[in-house]
């Protein structure tokens, strides 16, 4: 089979692939309505809470996918999901 692949930049322009944007903790706290760092970690570790889980990006670093956080915000605003710990 002879399959020619286009460069990644062309694939991204066509919307075939997308690279998820990762947010650091400070951005997550602000986007979640000014919650504290400990609240973000508590919510993300609670299986009953729909708050997104962080992704480990290094030995001592985590980040959240922006898309996951936006889905959570929509869920909270449209379905009136209770904000745990607030």
| CA angle 31–15–78, rounded 5-degree value | 35
Rounded to 5 degrees, φ, ψ at 5 are -105, 140
- pLDDT over 80 (residue 1): no
The whole-model pTM stands at 0.70
- Give the pLDDT score at 28: 96
Among residues 85, 55, 83, the alpha carbon closest in space to that of 68 is found at 55
Contact 57, 25 (CB under 8 A): no
- Per-residue pLDDT of 8-65, as tens digits, reads 455 555 655 678 899 999 999 999 999 999 999 999 999 988 999 999 999 999 999 9
- Give the pLDDT score at 82: 58
Say how many domains are in the chain.
1
Question: Is residue 86 situated within a structural domain?
Answer: no
Runs of H (alpha helix) within the chain: 8-13, 25-31, 37-45, 66-79
- Per-residue pLDDT of 65-80, as tens digits, reads 999 999 999 988 887 6
Question: Is residue 34 situated within a structural domain?
Answer: yes
Question: Is residue 63 situated within a structural domain?
Answer: yes
């Amino acid at each position: 089979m002879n399959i020619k692949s286009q460069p990644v930049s062309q694939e991204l322009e066509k919307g075939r692939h997308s690279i998820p944007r990762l947010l650091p903790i400070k951005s997550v706290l602000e986007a979640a309505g000014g919650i504290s760092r400990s609240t973000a970690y508590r919510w993300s570790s609670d299986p009953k809470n729909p708050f997104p889980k962080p992704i480990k990006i290094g030995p001592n670093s985590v980040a959240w996918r922006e898309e996951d956080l936006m889905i959570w915000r929509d869920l909270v605003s449209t379905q009136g999901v209770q904000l745990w710990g607030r």
